[in-house]
Amino acid sequence: MKLRLKAVVLNGCHVTDDPLMKLIMRHKQSLCRLEIFGCQFITPSCLQAVYEMCPDLQHLNIGKVPKVNAHSLTALTSLLKNLISLNLTGLQAVTDATVGRLVQNCVGLQSLTLSSCPGVTDLTLQSISKHIPFIRSLDVSGCTAVTDAGVQSLALRCRSLQQLDLSSTATGNRGLNLLANYCSRHLHTVKLSFCRISVESILKLCRHCKRLRLLHLYNCAHPPTQMQIRDVNTTVKVYPLQDKMTRYAGFFSGPG
């Protein structure tokens, strides 16, 4: 009986085009997941061949594959219309325009990771909200050109969001308040590390989002304490644990 692979995960491996192509050719009929995050030797021509052979791929991770260029992203957009999840972390070739074309063609996308893509701005979030409003998970951490204007587009149209990572973006209080007002029904994970936001806005998010389970607030200037958050939402876990950090800070700073 012939073995049929559904998933190939080679993240961080020093794999080259030739063995990958042999593997794909053998299992192209059954393959639905391919993860090659950080595989620095894979070329755009190899990727295009994979897309042509596996048009029914549902899950693709090509984050940190340095040779990915605009042409290979165009091929991805035109050939892989059944994608459910896509990771493009750290790709220089990703722009507002490429993401715009992507979400127009891959309307079934439920999870999109664009972390540390310097070409991503508020226009990307506007495209996402327009073409894939039912997206459930979005990561734009490290996209410094993302602001409250982009978050507003998400909040008003993407009411099914469950996981959102806005760490190291220019998101502020207005964006957070909009999320609390319009996306409270499904949000369970929100990451806001290195964002400039107030205690009041964070507590409002926790109060409104009854399903919130995980909140990241690393290096936020004035985060609420765990006790403040427990007063409005008893189920959310906040990292880092502010109460402990406060005690440690007091211990090292001394009485005066």
CATH of the domain at 30: 3.80.10.10
Contacts of 67 (CB under 8 A, 6+ apart): 40, 42, 43, 44
Q: Is 76 in the same domain as 129?
A: no
pLDDT at 244: 47
Quote the mean pLDDT of the chain: 93
Q: Is 256 in the same domain as 129?
A: yes
Domain termination residue (choose one: 53, 87, 121): 87
pTM over 0.75: yes
pLDDT at 218: 96
Q: Is 252 in the same domain as 201?
A: yes
* Model confidence pLDDT, tens digit, residues 105-130: 999 999 999 999 999 999 999 999 99
Q: Is 103 in the same domain as 201?
A: yes
Q: Is 241 in the same domain as 124?
A: yes
With bands split at pLDDT 50, 70 and 90, how would you rate the model's confidence at 253?
A: very low
With bands split at pLDDT 50, 70 and 90, how would you rate the model's confidence at 92?
A: very high
Q: Is 160 in the same domain as 79?
A: no
**Dist. CA 216–CA 201, nearest whole Å:** 14
pLDDT at 252: 39
Q: Is 73 in the same domain as 145?
A: no
Strands (E), 21-162: 33-35, 59-61, 85-87, 111-113, 137-139
How many domains, the chain? 2
* Model confidence pLDDT, tens digit, residues 160-195: 999 999 999 999 999 999 999 999 999 999 999 999
Q: Is 37 in the same domain as 68?
A: yes
Domain interval for residue 123: 94-256
With bands split at pLDDT 50, 70 and 90, how would you rate the model's confidence at 25?
A: very high
Domain termination residue (choose one: 26, 59, 87): 87
> Looking at the predicted structure, is the pLDDT value of residue 139 above 60?
yes
**Dist. CA 79–CA 127, nearest whole Å:** 20
With bands split at pLDDT 50, 70 and 90, how would you rate the model's confidence at 2?
A: low
Cis peptide before 240, with omega less than 30 degrees from 0? yes
pLDDT at 23: 95
- Are 80 and 102 spatial neighbours (Cβ–Cβ below 8 Å)? no
> In 80-138, where does DSSP find H-type helix?
96-105, 122-131
Q: Is 186 in the same domain as 113?
A: yes
pLDDT at 242: 62
Over range 197-203, report the average pLDDT: 96
Domain termination residue (choose one: 69, 87, 105): 87
- Structure tokens belonging to residue 41: 């030797």
For residue 154, give the 3-state DSSP assignment. Answer: helix
Q: Is 111 in the same domain as 51?
A: no
Over range 74-100, report the average pLDDT: 97
